């Protein structure tokens, strides 16, 4: 199933905040509803956010067809709903280019963004599975972080798509899904998807990942990205950097899987990226909190980056 789509004049999503307890569909008819869904993480994941951005502009183009000022304001709200993932703004901007040609042209471009992300996921699954087999041999044990399946990418997924492909090939021994604080995307969403696929897995607290690597229980780390900078720095869900350090210490591959749409050649390094802070409410109700949504993994801790078009061997000096 598609976890985000355009259905009968509205954006339809699986509400990721309700999983795993309830499989709830939301129909979003306005830009305000879509922006709220993005900010609450009802829809999340870099590829899915690119699609959401494009569909948000399609909604705006229909609602404000005779009011260019209101339309411009609505597009800007979609672009900036979350600041860190590059896909959201790119998807919105790509659809916005078609505004002079009318709402139907905008919608057609948004649907093209969706279809390209679906194709990209299928390509990444194949390329990534081939690479993991090359790096790790038969039946590796993988650790993944956050959620990178169909929920994050319309269908199939990025890093979790690779996991699914290895499972289909009979080349996977098992998966450790880190719980991913503070909203537990790993424990809630990744575990839900792996269970649906019949993949043997365990959930581990985030801080246990490097220790499990050190004990020899993990053959490779595989995860996604919200932005890949020109130098290869990887911006991804908070906790990624710690797993990269653990993988380097354990001497195991650290593989990033993300579509070409996530590669940001206009940003030189992670130092230029605004890291979203989601405030204390998700962590604590009685004190201030540091709650960055993402961290920056330096390129020299990355073994390889897999996109839908290529494998970039960062460990060999290759750059995005």
State yes or no: is 315 an active-site residue: no
Q: For residue 277, how many other CB atoms are within 10 A of its CB?
A: 12
How are beta strands 234-237 and 227-229 bridged, if at all? antiparallel
Q: What is the DSSP letter of 233?
A: -
End-to-end CA distance of the chain: 31
Q: What is the DSSP letter of 4?
A: E
Q: For residue range 73-106, what is the model confidence (pLDDT) as tens digits?
A: 999 999 999 988 799 999 999 999 999 999 999 9
| CA–CA distances in Å: residue 87 to residues 146, 168, 241, 261 | 17, 29, 21, 6
Per-residue pLDDT at 282? 87
Is residue 204 within 8 Å of 176, Cβ to Cβ?
A: yes
Residue of 226, 233, 264, 308 with catalytic role: 226
Per-residue pLDDT at 83? 86
Q: What is the pTM of this model?
A: 0.94
Nearest one of 271, 264, 251 to 305, comparing CA atoms: 264
DSSP string, 252-274: --EEEE--GGGEETTS-SGGGSP
Per-residue pLDDT at 186? 97
Stretches in the chain below the pLDDT threshold 50: none
List, edge to edge, every strand of the sheet that includes 311-312: 201-204, 174-178, 141-144, 220-223, 254-257, 304-306, 311-312
Per-residue pLDDT at 85? 78
């Amino acid at each position: 199933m598609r976890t985000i789509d355009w259905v009968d004049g509205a954006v339809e999503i699986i509400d990721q905040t309700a999983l795993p307890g309830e499989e709830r569909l939301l129909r979003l008819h306005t830009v305000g509803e879509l922006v709220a869904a993005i900010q609450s993480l009802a829809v999340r994941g870099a590829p899915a956010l690119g699609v959401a951005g494009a569909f948000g502009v399609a909604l705006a183009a229909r609602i404000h067809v005779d009011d260019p000022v209101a339309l411009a304001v609505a597009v800007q709200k979609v672009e900036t709903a979350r600041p860190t993932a590059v896909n959201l703004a790119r998807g919105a901007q790509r659809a916005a280019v078609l505004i002079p040609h009318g709402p139907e042209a905008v919608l057609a471009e948004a649907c093209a963004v969706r279809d390209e992300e679906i194709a990209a996921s299928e390509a990444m699954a194949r390329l990534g599975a081939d690479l993991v087999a090359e790096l790790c041999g038969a039946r590796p044990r993988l650790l993944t972080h956050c959620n990178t399946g169909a929920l994050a990418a319309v269908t199939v997924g990025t890093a979790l798509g690779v996991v699914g492909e290895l499972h289909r090939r009979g080349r996977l021994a098992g998966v450790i899904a880190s719980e991913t604080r503070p909203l537990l995307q790993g424990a809630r969403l990744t575990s839900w998807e792996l269970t649906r696929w019949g993949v043997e897995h365990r959930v581990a607290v985030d801080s246990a990942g490097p220790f499990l690597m050190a004990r020899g229980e993990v053959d490779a780390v595989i995860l996604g990205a919200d932005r890949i900078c020109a130098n290869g720095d990887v911006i991804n869900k908070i906790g990624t950097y710690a797993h990269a350090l653990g993988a380097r210490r354990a001497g195991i591959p650290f593989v990033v899987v993300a579509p070409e749409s996530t590669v940001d050649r206009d940003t030189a390094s992670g130092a230029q990226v605004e890291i979203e802070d989601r405030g204390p409410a998700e962590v604590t109700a009685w004190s201030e909190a540091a709650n960055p949504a993402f961290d920056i993994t330096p390129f020299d801790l990355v073994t390889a980056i897999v996109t839908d078009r290529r494998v970039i061997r960062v460990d060999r000096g290759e750059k995005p």
